[in-house]
């Protein structure tokens, strides 16, 4: 059971008790930090939470920087910077589109796919730990509640299609 006398929410406000949405927000940030720590420990250095949104899009299909920027709701300049960073870290590769040499497409590299596998394993580990504490039935019920929250926020279908936009403000 979560007991919090005073917490500092991720937006800096001090709360005397945590609402459901506060707990969701805090748990999301803490879960993301857990995954990043696991990735770093596995040698996947330099990754940030926002990179995961790019990875999710590239798992669907190779994309141009313009397509990624549009799909994720950021400027082309911001996406160009992100892709340059991910390329220098070895997580993505860009090459000429075989159908149109003027267009460059971005794909996950083998290292990028390895990071995806490691992140999935970290999430499975964390979920198994929670199941060990509260049981599978409670986790299923929580998942249903969180799915309803995503629907309420207009993200239900977008998450399923790997089209969730980068939350603002991003990290």
Instruction: Tell me the pLDDT tens digit for each residue of 77-126.
Output: 999 999 999 999 999 999 888 888 788 899 999 999 999 999 999 999 99
Residue numbers of the chain with a pLDDT score lower than 50: 1-7, 170-171
- Predicted local distance difference test score (pLDDT) of residue 166: 72
The answer to whether the beta carbons of residues 67 and 163 sit under 8 Å apart is: no
What's the rounded Cα separation, in Å, for the pair 7 and 15?
6
Tell the burial category of 128 from Cβ atoms under 10 Å away from its Cβ (0-12, 13-18, 19+): exposed
Helix (H) or strand (E) holding 111: helix 110-134
- Domain 47-160: CATH class, spelled out: mainly alpha
What's the rounded Cα separation, in Å, for the pair 53 and 61?
13
> Hey, what long-range contacts does 61-64 have (CB within 8 A, 24 or more apart)?
62/105, 62/106, 62/107, 63/105, 63/106, 64/97, 64/103, 64/104, 64/105, 64/106
What's the rounded Cα separation, in Å, for the pair 6 and 29?
18
* Closest residue by Cα to residue 86 from 121, 120, 116, 118: 116
- Predicted local distance difference test score (pLDDT) of residue 163: 72
- Check the CA dihedral 146-152-158-164 and report its sign: negative
This prediction's pTM: 0.81
Q: How many CA atoms lie within 13 A of 139 on its CB side?
A: 12
- Predicted local distance difference test score (pLDDT) of residue 4: 47
- Predicted local distance difference test score (pLDDT) of residue 13: 58
């Amino acid at each position: 059971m979560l007991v919090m006398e005073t917490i500092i929410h991720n937006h800096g406000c001090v709360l005397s008790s945590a609402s459901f949405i506060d707990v969701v927000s805090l748990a999301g940030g803490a879960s993301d930090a857990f995954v990043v720590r696991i990735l770093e420990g596995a040698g996947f250095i330099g990754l940030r939470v926002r990179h995961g949104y790019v990875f999710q899009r590239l798992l669907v299909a190779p994309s141009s920087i313009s397509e990624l920027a549009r799909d994720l709701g950021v400027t082309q300049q911001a996406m160009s910077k992100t892709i340059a960073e991910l390329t220098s870290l070895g997580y993505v590769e860009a090459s000429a589109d075989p159908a149109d040499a003027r267009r460059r497409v971005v794909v996950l590299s083998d290292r990028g796919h390895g990071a995806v596998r490691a992140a999935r394993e970290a999430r499975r580990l964390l979920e198994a730990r929670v199941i060990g504490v509260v049981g599978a039935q409670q986790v299923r019920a929580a998942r249903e509640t969180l799915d309803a929250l995503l629907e309420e926020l207009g993200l239900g279908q977008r998450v399923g299609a790997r089209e969730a936009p980068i939350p603002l403000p991003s990290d």
